[in-house]
Amino acid sequence: MSRDGTIAAPDLTPPEIPRPSAIGGNWRRFWELVWITATQDFKRRYAHSALGYIWTLLSPMLLFAAIYLVVLQIKVRFNNQVTDYGALLFTNIVLFQFYVQGSNRAIRSLVRNSSLLTKMSIPRMVMPLSAVLCVLFTLCMNLIVVFVWVLFWPIHPMWTWLLLPVIVSGLVLITSAVGLLLSTIYVRYRDVGEIYPLIARCLFYTSPVIIPIGLMPKPLFDAQSFNPIAPIIVQVRPWLIDPNAPGWFELGKSLWWEVMPFIIFAAICVAGWLVFTRKSRRVAEEV
């Protein structure tokens, strides 16, 4: 009742319902959702396939065969200049395939799960991260094959094999960051889904995946300072294949050239986080 004796009309405006956030308020629940979503996706991926996991392994195997066995000029040239080039090439392909498959699935994850996002209040970041985690399960299985391959090459075990998680962690971070950055953009602009595979293919041929960095032409070698994946791929050779090969910081370039990929790496990670947390609240309205 107001001071003049009249009764104020009740406020019938419904309270504003907060939009689901990127990660929710409970970190433990968030990571549980990521794990559950990824494991379910992984099971569905091979549930109705007779060969199941074999199909996933065939992709890097066929790509390796095309480069190593069909393109004989590459085989002859690098076999004479790079120790255990075949093992190096196969390892690089498996690792780079994880980046391509993980980022592609993460970019499409929000649209692929649109029906779930519009019906449930689920943290939006669960979708792209669970997509990357699902592909990480496949990478772990592929790495078992890689190490069997390496041992039969033969390459003797080295203590630096224990540094493999550093390489994988770097790939997981950059894959997740690219997925977060582009997934919300893909919701509105589906052209991203057509353009990104072309960019990833160009990155495959211009990164030190096929051509070891020490044998790259100078313009391509200099361009690696703008490639955030380059230091990760370069370290595969001295840590896993040939301990006498130079690492990223032993290539004799300037400090700026060595540090620039890490600056770009960090910038992509920060941009992916900021863009996703800002735009993901309206995903359900735009998807």
pLDDT of residue 286: 60
Which of these, 175, 145, 209, 188, lies nearest to 285 by C-alpha position?
188
CB 193 within 8 A of CB 186: yes
Q: Fill in the DSSP letter of residue 19.
A: P
Which of these, 166, 149, 147, 168, lies nearest to 158 by C-alpha position?
147
CB 238 within 8 A of CB 252: no
Sign of CA dihedral 38, 108, 228, 201: positive
Residue 196 CA to residue 199 CA, distance in Å, equals: 5
Reported as a single tens digit per residue, the pLDDT across 46-95 is 766 656 666 667 767 777 776 666 555 555 566 567 778 888 888 998 99
Instruction: Say which residue the tokens 């019906």 belong to.
Output: 119
Residues of the chain with pLDDT under 50: 1-2, 9, 11-17
pLDDT of residue 33: 87
First to last CA, the chain: 46
Distance of CA 205 to the CA centre of its chain: 17
Residue 25 CA to residue 15 CA, distance in Å, equals: 20
pLDDT of residue 12: 47
Domain ranges of the chain: 27-286
CB 248 within 8 A of CB 234: yes
